[in-house]
Amino acid sequence: MIVASAPVAPPAANRNRNTFRMRKVLRSGMEAIELHDERSGAVAVFAHRGATLLDWRVRDGSELVALTDGFVSAEELASQNGVRNGILAPFPNRIADGRYRFDGRDHDLLPGVPAADRLIYHGFLRTMDLKVANVQETTAGISVLFTGAIAADAFPGYPFALKFNVRVSFAARSIGLTVTATNVGERAAPYAAGWHPYFRLGDAPLDSLELTIPASRCVVTDAKLLPLDGEAAFLPVDEASLPDFRQPRPLGAAVIDGCYAGAAPGADGLIRSRLRDPATGRQLTIWQRGGLTHVFTGDTLARDARRAIAIEPVEAMTDAFNRPDCARDIRLSPGATSSFACGVGFDVDAARTSSTSSSNRFSATTA
């Protein structure tokens, strides 16, 4: 926990001054950028490796509240254990046995790997070193553009060329992401994106937090966590084995590694899930423009299991490259561009304090 003195209200003449800054940092061996709001003290740190969020803290009263549990060292980032806060592209989650068929051709993402070890998930972007191409600082927040690309021969089993833009938007109480891929090759490519953030609300125990996900269906999987074929992959949430979070529900001791679908968006087209600490009123609102929401309670993490929960906005379901019902959605034609937007905002509900904030105005409007 980091405790800081409460900020002093700035003079009226300075209230419209830009207080958002970016600086390069080396954090436990990880090359990164730090985004900082001088007025509130809020801070977020993103590694160049995959534009991975390493740390995010927001002020509540006199306290800077830790809201994520990212990689803490270069060694941990390299290991990718838990894919902490990783951006997922060109595919989220698993590809069955590391094999898929696209446009009449078979592809093997794990050539030479024996059957017992054929596990691959969450794409390649999270392992790539990206460049900062553009920074925009305003009085409302700061926006940073990370860029990168993969050549057609860069990764086994994925002979497609893509250019990536990752736009990060940071405000006093919110973070927004827009992940954009452009097919710069000569043939269509299979593609989908997502984000794998781990959220916490300070030191509140995970079991005490409440979760809300406005999803009407759950994805049904086999023992390998692969969805069943066709419509058998979906069940109404009140008939599935996963918990029903359509209304706020304590996480308790639930062990979850599953996906929710069929969420109803709001009038602005955004799907919103919420994580709340009933003891303090602190809450996070996770938003996404379409897609599904995967939940993982972090029980198998090598470090600090169940200290944070992964609430993952994803554009497509697990093993989408092998599903006929996803073929149209994952197809990225030559020269075409695909974008997926998501983000998160922090606030404290009115039951605890009369001081409320617009938690994701900057991130949502810049997505």
Residue 220 in contact with residue 234, Cβ under 8 Å?
yes
pLDDT band at 357 (very low <50, low <70, confident <90, very high): very low
Burial of 184 (0-12, 13-18, 19+ CB in 10 A): middle
Span 307-349, pLDDT tens digits:
999 999 999 999 999 999 999 999 999 999 999 999 999 999 8
**What's the rounded mean pLDDT across residues 271-287?**
98
Rounded distance between C-alpha atoms, residue 258 and residue 42, angstroms: 32
The partner residues of 24 in beta bridges, in order of sequence, read: 33
Domain boundaries, the chain: 86-365
Structure tokens belonging to residue 78:
């390299």
Q: Span 86-365: which CATH code?
A: 2.70.98.10
Helix (H, G, I), strand (E, B) or coil at 104: coil
Query: Is pTM, for the whole model, over 0.85?
Result: yes
- Token pair belonging to 211: 């979760």
Query: Do β-strands 2-3 and 63-66 pair in parallel, antiparallel, or remain unpaired?
Result: antiparallel
Residues 6 or more apart from 287 whose CB is under 8 A from it? 270, 271, 272, 273, 313, 342, 343, 344, 345, 360, 363, 364
| Other CB atoms within 10 A of residue 151 CB | 12
Give yes or no for residue 355 having a pLDDT over 70: no
- Return the residue matching tokens 């997926």: 340
Q: For the chain, give the mean pLDDT.
A: 92
What percent of the chain is helix, strand and coil (3-state, nearest 5)?
10, 40, 45
Structural contact between residues 147 and 131, judged by C-beta atoms closer than 8 angstroms: yes
